[in-house]
Amino acid sequence: MADPELKKGLEGVLVAESSLSFIDGDAGKLVYRGYDIGDLARGASYEEVVYLLWHGELPTAGELDSFTDAMTEEMPVDEDVLAVAGRLADAGEAPMAALRTLVSYLSAEDPEADSEPSDLEAAARKGRRITAKVPTVLAAFDRLRRGEEPIDPHDDLGLAANFLYMLTGEEPDDVAAETFDMALTLHADHGLNASTFTAMVVASTLADLYSSVVAGVGALSGPLHGGANQDVMELFFEIDEADADPVEYVTRLQEEREEWRVPGMGHRVYNVKDPRAKILGAKSEELAEVTGEPKWFEMAAAIERYFDEEKGLTERGIAPNVDFYSGTVYYQLGIPIDMYTPIFAMSRTGGWIGHVLEYQEDNRLIRPRARYVGEKDCEFVPVDER
């Protein structure tokens, strides 16, 4: 029998069925459980979206209140968790590495940490605790590394507003809270991406949910998956410091650096502009008007126009992805740039957990094959004769 076709990186290989999210890369469309991402981002809270991903339908007002209240109750963390965050901060740990360790440590505080893998109701409760506590530990870590005391979550704020409050010590205004909530919704799920698939592979062994989320964090920490929004802002800082025209600057970098690509441009799945980039681009412009600092949005917009109108890259499938504008949004909200990928993880935790819960309903161990290309008939020689 002929060997099956090799699909490097599993590109295009179907390994599971899912009803969580659907992507049409040619039409630039993303839906969660059948709902257009634009409708959800503009009309639903992040908590509503997480409920939708986990339960398969949008909650009623009563169900949402109960779900949000339960999430809020789970947001505080014990002092020993904050002590671990402090040690990581003192050691100079990178935020994604700190998040990986802190999520793992949270299992020590979970009253259902030893529940059976087949108990999906217990897994869902663990998922709620993880999703609720990740913003708390991230904000605490950032404050501790800046020499400031952690702030307890506020009972009357949702997850998005609470994170900004715990990070800055000030309750965000309505525009900031709404914008950040929208950003979390836009990043909550995106099909079988690398980190989601990693979380599912771990879950398929019937490992606990904490192991799956830690694995997802690890996969997202790689520069080929997360981190492009930080790269975008670092590029914009370079342009600003050089007092250069943004289009001329990136054009020169392309000429000087072989195979250099503008960060945030192009996507593995989308052949047109990422629908999430359209939404965040508009929010970035709105924030620029509120803050009175339009240069970051204007840089992004100028580069996008150039590559679209002058270079025609959009017609060749190279257009802004969600990271191209999310960095400008986060920066205008006062978030440190090395926290951008951890925020991605904070949002995507809801999606990882949703996929794990869905997959474990009809679990099968994920076990692909590799084509062997090594020697087969080597003669063994004892060590003293080599």
Catalytic residues: 225, 267, 323
Q: In what order do the strands lie in the sheet with 29-32?
A: 21-24, 29-32, 35-36
Q: What is the DSSP string of 11-57?
A: TT------SSEEEETTTTEEEETTEEHHHHHHHS-HHHHHHHHHHSS
User: CA angle 176-181-187, nearest 5°?
Assistant: 130
The closest of 301, 273, 307, 306 to 286, measured between CA atoms, is 301
Cα Rg of the chain (Å, integer): 22
User: CA angle 338-341-342, nearest 5°?
Assistant: 90
The closest of 190, 333, 328, 184 to 263, measured between CA atoms, is 328
CA distance 140 to 146: 10
